[in-house]
Amino acid sequence: MSLADSWGSAPASPIGFEGYEKRLEITLSDAPVFVDPCGRGLRALSREQIDSFLDLAKCTIVSHLSNKHFDSYVLSESSLFVYPHKVVLKTCGTTKLLLSIPRILELAAELSLPVLSVKYSRGMFIFPGAQPSPHRSFSEEVSVLNSFFGGLKSGGNAYVIGDAFKPKKKWHVYYATEEPEQPMVTLEMCMTGLDAKKAEVFFKDSTDGSCSSAKEMTMLSGISEIIPEMEICDFEFDPCGYSMNGIYGPAVSTIHVTPEEGFSYASYEAMNFNPSSLVYDDLIKKVLACFCPSDFSVAVTIFGGHGFAKSWAKGAEVDSYMCDDLVEQELPGGGVLMYQSFTAVTPGAVSPRSTLDGWNSDGAEMVAKSKEMSVCWEGEKAAKKKDADA
């Protein structure tokens, strides 16, 4: 019996659509030159082979855009990016992302591409009870991830970061690596409580009777101006919803929007860009202008050190938002995760103190007793805590 067969299914939420994505990033080492003389790596996979692991995750390709560096796919539930030595799969709703792992690893092995590292991340689901196995809890997800990647040199390391007094604002991360990774910065941004006027743009049929296309949504929302150099592949859903992938050289950005009132959500991601070419605060402000959320979080993963990351290695400061939490978490292999959460406030509001959540050695979720520590799956590891008002 396959891994997919061993997990039951869960009905879709009767309340609303789950916007928060699950994100899996698997990085691979080079194949021997005589096996892959052109260095195509994963880009040598056929559409049929790609569909074979997307089917397991319960999503399909709806649009495609490529350049000389990588292939990008807009999916029925979020996005897929395929580089020669990296695959990033991001899925929302009640998809079963982790069930794609065995097939991805099988295809990588056929191409003689050994695993270098894996990173899994997600926020706190809006409708956690609607998630199917193996996504019913983070402990369940970590168990699956460890079964595939726990044998890497670093071992599996899992973290739950966030304010203990705000359980809906938690960031979940799993990371394992064989050796230090190449320098790279990745931004993951999650927004809830979208402004009604901003969200209205992402309904296919507007209140005045007109019909909007994905291209119009991209322009009217201001998304096209976030990083103007990006070539955008966008897609509108019926009756509402929006996804886009942007590509520029090896860099990628992606946006996914669930605009319905009561569970509105938007995400923004940028990866593999030159950190000297983008100013962290400025980029965040451009994204916020498109959605005006009541709450948002940012998670910046840095490989290559603070000097390489430039402005991305410090906390963001955003007008009209209060920083609820600011955490700097070290990752194995020299990586760093910078996490912040924000709430829209009136002028003069004072930021409360925050704590970290973690996991004990038995895999049970817990609140870290010390405000200076986070607890990871394999044991306690220090997390540098910065003052939110610094």
Cα separation, 200 vs 320, in Å, equals: 22
How much is the average pLDDT of 91-99? 90
17 is annotated as contributing to ligand binding? yes
77 is annotated as contributing to ligand binding? yes
Cα separation, 343 vs 72, in Å, equals: 32
Q: What is the pTM of this model?
A: 0.84
Domain ranges of the chain: 22-344
179 is annotated as contributing to ligand binding? no
Q: Could you list the active site residues?
A: 78, 92, 243, 256
Q: Which residues pair with 120 in a beta bridge?
A: 24, 174
How confident is the model over 215-244, as pLDDT tens digits?
A: 999 999 999 999 999 999 999 998 899 999
Residue 375 has pLDDT above 60, yes or no: no
Cβ-contact 42, 141 below 8 angstroms: no
Cα separation, 338 vs 305, in Å, equals: 12
The verdict on domain 22-344 having CATH code 3.40.50.620 is no
Cα separation, 210 vs 204, in Å, equals: 8
Residue 251 has pLDDT above 50, yes or no: yes
34 is annotated as contributing to ligand binding? no
Residue 364 has pLDDT above 90, yes or no: no
How much is the average pLDDT of 336-345? 93
Instruction: Assign 382 a pLDDT band (cuts: 50, 70, 90).
Output: very low
